Structure 1
């Protein structure tokens, strides 16, 4: 067991060094501000032993009256030294805060860039809370602790060095006593560092869990109220909250234990110094002023050493947070190794060739040897029971999902040979899970690469989606904010706004995944008419559970358990009296 622990520790050491390097590689980009901050910290550090040095002339000559000008000179020196220290501390703190916030800005920018480049599968692992925690907590911890650790290490080390210089100047014998006893406190503190590292890693993970629980409580508050889920949610939250309290208390105990232990060694050093100083004073080798100056300089060492000892806990928190942040920055991005670029507008000839797919850790194939074709301007509908693989198949066109086996061709090009931007520029998607941004209606319609669309184009898209009258009735029209999760719109309005966004793109390929699912019968009829008019000349893949919406499709592909069971148009499939006909009759009975 001990051997395994030593091996784990040895393996962890290079990781910690790499984290240190990556953190301060980012901090080092602002080296000019850092150099100026170090100069300011050096000035502040120099003032502390200077205050101690004043004690000797103050007691030995000042109170005896042998130097009358000390009456005004020494008080002025105290004021000047405190003023210089205050200015230097302010400047160094400002510069370090400037560096920290710039590093945080850059780090969060890199994290968000990588977040948007992650594959679709990465967002289906249920780690939303952990991802949010990395942006809000971990990134802040890295930069805050990095600058704080730098400040402590530089400023306090300079103070200790300057104070030790004064101590040696006053009495090298007494200084040796201090240098022998105080380092023992550092050895004791090391025993707490490993414990703090484990606690801080557990705290980071539990903070992510807290974010997830609270987020689900906010998003699911209506379900909680309707199904009386108060006790369950309180239980979940209380568990996480209690664990966080437990970790915080463990960390506090470890931090608090270092302080009295350090003070014990300090007391031992002071006791030994007093005993030796009294011996030197009896021999006439040390004056009262010299002893007071020595003790003043010695007293100034204790706080810096305490802060240097306590910085170990902050270092561990910084490294644990950095590990989480860089794990996101280093995460895999989408497979975008395609080099071919499609023409401005493709014909829209799509062919699925023996496509199979299996999700990680799944017991069976999601899709099994699926083959069919979509010709230019043709509308093909995918129907089947829930879980038959319809959405997975549609998500393969924009390469949100990659085939496990087989291939998909677009105008004769294999999809994975095409660049993602070139491929996705040819497609528009309307999903049953509507995503709208907390912006204006106009900005949500003309989104992303379409932000320069004219107002007339936006209105035309809204009219085609049967939403123009509603938007015109709003006081602010296109400038109306939709709110977070489009909370100011009804379900049908959200769906139609998403349809308008897809229509304005005017892509040659349309993917409609239950695009009319949230509409009432009248709105569905109007939008369906607009969609049928706009789908002419475009290759369209439609996913629908309600078979009434796909009766006019050029071809219907019936899926079951990931396999193609039937293909043909509506009338032909009804005549076959197979699975499609059974599904159609069942829905007809439910509707009647």
Structure 2
């Protein structure tokens, strides 16, 4: 897991990130426009409902007169003598209020649904693109970041983006239009009084800006601590057998509690910042309202208003507090969304693994491999993992790689499959530099059976005929099953080949899982075969079956065998002994024994261990 501190992000960078995020909503622009129109209708009706209270109060007594009322002048002017009788106002004003409420509800529904649809479409697109991009990242990226942290980005961080689109935009659009409408109404009624509010706008803006920066920093920390929670959980679940056998429950519980508590602490800091800012802004708006009322009650001010106009004016001024408070919260939500989006776009911006060149391999590929002065480091300043590896493998030969753990055997075959790129030298397949070949075309020529068995939560059949192998016929699948000596135990499964294996096929033994992986490699029928401890999980009887099957399959194929048990590679055409990233011995089993060097020593040590 990479613990590199996050760089300081400027407001300009945050704006670019948010614009990039909103660009995902462009394909849904018709619904977005509909949502905006819905919220505009809601806001207009919200202001209109407050304004109508003027008519409600002015109607008390002799009815609505044209007089000095702001809205009353317009309404009463449509009646004889400029007066709406009280009997008429009795049913007309409630009917108007009901109609306004209905249209407000319609506007809110249209706006909320439209924006939620847009938001979920964006989340779906982000998740699918993120998942696809992760699948194209180089192996070095997975060396730096654990799977749990990437899962957290897909599951948690993407979800955090929802609020910055749905809740934030909904509040911003609806509250902005409502605030603009209320301010417009206040200015039209009495512009001198309304200017009082504008004295407090700079103070509120400063508070929102400071709190927003704090929110963004805390949101980054929350996402990191959530990654820790996911990481600890995944390790404890995947390694539950080790946890129980070695009494690790208390230790794992402590790790989880520490990770969860760190996440809780960051959330509480977020809550403090959120509620403190809201409270301060509420006080500022309340102060502005109090000052406005103080001015309104000054001599000469109220005389220009009817009781209805004055009441609706104060009501509109008081109602401004809610949209202003909501707008202050929006900035915080947007900052949280930007923090989540930044972590997602960091993955998007990570370079994909090289696709290779456009040269075609000769047809058919024979499997002749040449390593020319190959060198490799995991990082530019890291120690050399491989140094000056130089040898050739003829088509159809079997080459065994032996040596102590960490000597570079698995790294060497990983370079052949281009999971990593060499730092010096090159690898040729049938005389073609593999970096000049499309990586997908290269991997079509290589089958891999590693000691890390990967089986998916799918049927046995789909685990063997996986991915592009799904086009293989059932007869070819059955032939691979027979060669891998897997037919007997598959027939004993509840639904045979159609049995769903579950999470990582825990219902199968290690040897059975290994044989399914071998069957998958056999089905691929590639000219180059890599066996990385392919028989390590098998008992002696199963191993004899597999060795017989592999001996048949390895005919006419270039095979690289990595083995710790030297007894399994005695028949190899060539054995390479590796130590600290270099080839220290090369030859057949007989030749290396005669030399009495490192290979002979390793063999004697293993034989002694077995005899002991």
**TM-score bin, normalised by smaller chain:** over 0.9
Q: SS state of the match for residue 387, structure 1?
A: coil
- How many angstroms does 1:541 deviate by? 0.7
The reply on whether 1:572 has 2:594 as its aligned counterpart is no
Distance 1:363 1:9 in 2: 24
1:347 is aligned to 366
Match of 1:279 among 298, 312, 326: 298
Q: Which residue of 2 aligns with 1:94?
A: 113
Q: Which residue of 1 is the match for residue 16 of structure 2? A: 18
Instruction: Find 1:109's aligned residue among 94, 107, 128.
Output: 128
Aligned: 1:491 with 2:496: no
User: Which residue in 1 is equivalent to 2:66?
Assistant: none
Deviation at residue 301 of structure 1 after TM alignment = 1.5
Superposed, 1:407-556 pairs within 5 Å as: 407-556=426-575
Aligned position for 2:314: 295
Shift of 1:232: 2.5
- Runs of 4 or more, structure 1, over 4 Å off, are 8-11, 280-283
Residue 258 (str. 1) matches residue 271 (str. 2): no
Q: Determine if the alignment matches structure 1 residue 162 to structure 2 residue 181.
A: yes
Query: What per-residue deviation string (whole Å, max 9, x for no partner) do you get for residues 556-582 of structure 1?
Result: 111112221211111121122211111
The aligned residue for residue 288 of structure 2 is 269
Equivalent in 58, 61, 64 of residue 62 of structure 2: 64
How many angstroms apart in 2 are the aligned matches of 1:316 and 1:51?
33
Change (3 A) 1:492 1:502: same
Aligned to 1:27: 25
Name the SS of the counterpart of 2:416 in structure 1: coil
Distance 2:605 2:344 in 1: 52
**Residue 407 of structure 1 aligns to a residue in which SS?**
strand
Unaligned runs of 5+ in 2: 1-5, 64-84
- Alpha-carbon offset, residue 255 of structure 1: 0.9
Shift of 1:63: 4.1
CA 1:92–1:282 in 2, change beyond 3 Å: closer, same or farther? Answer: closer
Q: Return the offset for 1:282.
A: 7.3
User: Does the alignment pair 1:310 with 2:351?
Assistant: no
| CA distance in structure 1 between the partners assigned to 2:407 and 2:207 by the alignment | 63
Indicate yes or no: 2:222 matched with 1:203. Answer: yes
| Partner residue of 1:139 out of 146, 154, 158 | 158
Alpha carbons of 1:421 and 1:463: their partners in 2 closer, same or farther (altered >3 Å)?
same
What's the secondary structure of 1:68's corresponding residue?
Answer: helix
**Does the 8 Å contact 2:163/2:333 carry over to 1?**
no
Query: Quick one: distance in 1 between partners of 2:148 and 2:320?
Result: 43
SS at match of 1:340: coil
Q: For 1:118-129, list aligned pairs within 5 A.
A: 118-129=137-148
Using a 3 Å threshold, how does the CA distance of structure 1 residues 466 and 162 change in structure 2: closer, same or farther?
same
Instruction: Name whichever of 269-278 and 446-455 sits farther off.
Output: 269-278
Q: Is the 8 A contact 2:140 2:378 kept in 1?
A: no
How many residues are paired up?
Answer: 585
Are residue 388 (structure 1) and residue 386 (structure 2) matched?
no
List runs of 5+ in structure 1 lacking aligned partners.
1-7
Q: 2:375 aligns with which of 344, 347, 356?
A: 356
SS at match of 1:409: strand
Whole-Å separation in 2 of the counterparts to 1:226 and 1:475: 30
Displacement, 1:185? 2.4
Q: Secondary structure at the match of 2:421?
A: coil
Q: 2:200 maps to what in 1?
A: 181
Residue 47 (structure 1) aligns with: 45
Q: Distance in 1 between matches of 2:493 and 2:151?
A: 34
Can you list the C-alpha shifts for 1:283-325, whole angstroms capped at 9, x where unaligned? 6212211111112222321111100011121111111111100
Aligned 1:186-265 pairs, distance under 5 A: 186-265=205-284
CA distance in 2, matches of 1:82, 1:442: 60
Do 2:361 and 2:430's aligned partners in 1 also have CA atoms closer than 8 Å?
no
The match for 2:100 among 78, 81, 88 is 81
Shift of 1:171: 1.9
- Alignment-derived partner of residue 37 in structure 1: 35
How far, CA to CA, are the matches of 2:207 and 2:563 in structure 1? 68
| CA shift in 2, pair 1:423/1:154, >3 Å | same
Secondary structure of the equivalent of 1:564?
A: strand
Contact 1:345 1:508 in 2 (8 A): no
Equivalent position of 2:79 in the other structure: none
2:384 is the alignment partner of 1:365: yes
Checking the alignment, whether the CA contact within 8 Å between 1:382 and 1:557 is kept in structure 2 is: yes
Contact kept, 8 Å, 1:182 with 1:266, in 2: the verdict is no
For 1:282 and 1:367, the matched residues in 2 are separated by: 88
Looking at structure 2, the residues matched to 543 and 267 of structure 1 have their Cα atoms a distance apart, in angstroms, of 75
Contact 2:296–2:302 (Cα < 8 Å) also in 1: no
CA RMSD of aligned residues (A): 1.8
SS in 2 for 1:437: coil
Q: Which residue of 1 aligns with 2:69?
A: none
Please give the alpha-carbon distance, in whole angstroms, between the structure 2 residues aligned to 1:488 and 1:174. Answer: 77
Give 1:269 shift: 2.0
Does the Cα contact within 8 Å between 2:373 and 2:425 map onto a contact in 1?
Answer: yes
Output the CA distance in 2 between the equivalents of 1:283 and 1:367.
Answer: 89
Q: Is 1:560 matched up with 2:558?
A: no
